[in-house]
């Protein structure tokens, strides 16, 4: 199991587990308090369903033990399914990638971001990496070549690839490239490009910077960034206005914003490359609107790389 495979659970446990067990959370919540959470399934790309289900049960059991809250965790639904349930009151909290939240908020405008998760690079981008000797000047020059989309690739990278690698206006990278392979880890994928056995690799900021930190000379000698996306909005935990008790909402938000100061939470955050949970900046709405210009709301929710 790779670090990327488990990032979804790390996000969830660091965010909600430590927030609810922080000193701001009540050990004696109101009777019959219910907290139902939906986390979009794209956080768990390539993770076996059995492990996702097990993790969900562990999380809900732990939440009840620590806080007394009855609750459920849904991890097998797409963004619009989670958003609909938030809107109709079946869920109280939803966890979305930034681009997914832009899509669903357009349809459900009462959905509101509570906090966002940021990495230490403060950057959510997709990169296409090639060998330094590759003659390609743009992504279009890679048509018909071999690309690696490593297991556990972040969802915003998939969205970027689909938007920019089309065949007859269809977002189908499998038709655009000669072949799409799936390395077990980011490091293996980049090593293969450096060795010349693969033409290109799709990578997020965290994966790229981690490789540079441990194999800087290999990258400098053999690899280069062919193209990268603009910055995507950061992932968010969201709620519907009026859909969750204000006292509980405040306690959860306060716990999230202090998670990086909690020694136990800090270890988890660092391990999974989450710097902190931060307040939603005033510019976040604009970043969502800007994203929709490049990545409009899809007609149907699908992932062509799976």
Give the whole-angstrom CA distance, residue 26 versus residue 21: 8
pLDDT tens, 38-48?
A: 989 898 888 77
Percentage of the chain exceeding pLDDT 70? 75
Asked if pLDDT for residue 21 goes beyond 60, the answer is no
Asked if pLDDT for residue 303 goes beyond 60, the answer is no
Q: How much is the CA Rg of the chain, to the nearest whole Å? A: 20
Domain ranges in the chain with CATH number 3.40.190.10: 3-120+233-294, 126-228
**Class of the CATH domain delimited by 126-228:** alpha beta
Stated length of the chain: 306
Q: Pick from 67, 74, 76: which is nearest to 27 by CA?
A: 67
Q: pLDDT higher for 161 or 12?
A: 161
Whether the Cβ atoms of residue 93 and residue 35 lie closer than 8 Å to each other: yes
Q: How many angstroms separate the Cα of 249 from the Cα of each of 84, 112, 143, 260?
A: 19, 12, 48, 19
Rounded to two decimals, what is the model's pTM? 0.85
Q: Pick from 13, 96, 90, 91: which is nearest to 52 by CA?
A: 13
CATH of 3-120+233-294, one of 3.40.190.10, 3.40.630.30, 3.40.50.920, 3.40.50.300: 3.40.190.10
Q: Are strands 93-96 and 34-39 parallel, antiparallel or unpaired?
A: parallel
Q: pLDDT higher for 2 or 256?
A: 256
Name residue, tokens 């490593």. 150
Residue 43 DSSP class: G
The pLDDT score that the predictor gives to residue 31 is: 47
Whether the Cβ atoms of residue 160 and residue 128 lie closer than 8 Å to each other: no
Give the whole-angstrom CA distance, residue 21 versus residue 124: 28
Residue 67 DSSP class: H
């Amino acid at each position: 199991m790779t670090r990327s495979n488990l990032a979804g659970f790390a996000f969830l446990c660091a965010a909600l587990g430590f927030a609810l067990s922080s000193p701001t959370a009540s050990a004696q919540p109101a009777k019959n308090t219910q907290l139902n959470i939906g986390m979009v399934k794209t956080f768990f790309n390539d993770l076996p369903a059995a492990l996702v289900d097990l993790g969900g049960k562990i999380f809900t059991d732990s939440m009840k033990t620590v806080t007394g809250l009855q609750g459920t965790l849904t991890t097998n639904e797409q963004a619009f399914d989670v958003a609909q349930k938030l809107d109709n009151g079946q869920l109280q909290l939803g966890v979305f990638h930034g681009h997914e939240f832009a899509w669903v908020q357009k349809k459900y405008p009462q959905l509101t971001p509570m906090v966002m998760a940021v990495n230490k690079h403060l950057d959510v981008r997709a990169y296409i990496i090639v060998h330094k000797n590759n003659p390609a000047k743009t992504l279009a020059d890679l048509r018909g070549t071999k690309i690696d989309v490593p297991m556990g690739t972040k969802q915003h990278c998939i969205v970027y690839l689909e938007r920019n690698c089309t065949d007859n206006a269809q977002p189908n990278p499998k038709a655009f490239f000669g072949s799409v392979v799936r390395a077990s880890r980011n490091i293996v994928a980049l090593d293969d490009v450096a060795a010349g056995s693969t033409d290109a690799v799709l990578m997020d900021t965290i994966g790229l910077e981690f490789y540079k930190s441990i194999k800087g000379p290999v990258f400098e000698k053999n690899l280069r960034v062919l193209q990268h996306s603009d910055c995507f909005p950061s992932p968010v935990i969201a709620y519907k206005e009026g859909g969750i008790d204000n006292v509980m909402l405040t306690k959860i938000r306060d716990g999230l914003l202090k998670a990086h100061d909690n020694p136990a939470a800090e270890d988890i955050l660092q391990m999974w490359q989450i710097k902190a949970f931060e307040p939603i900046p005033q510019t976040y709405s604009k970043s969502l609107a800007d994203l929709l210009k490049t990545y409009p709301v899809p007609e149907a929710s699908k992932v062509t790389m799976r």
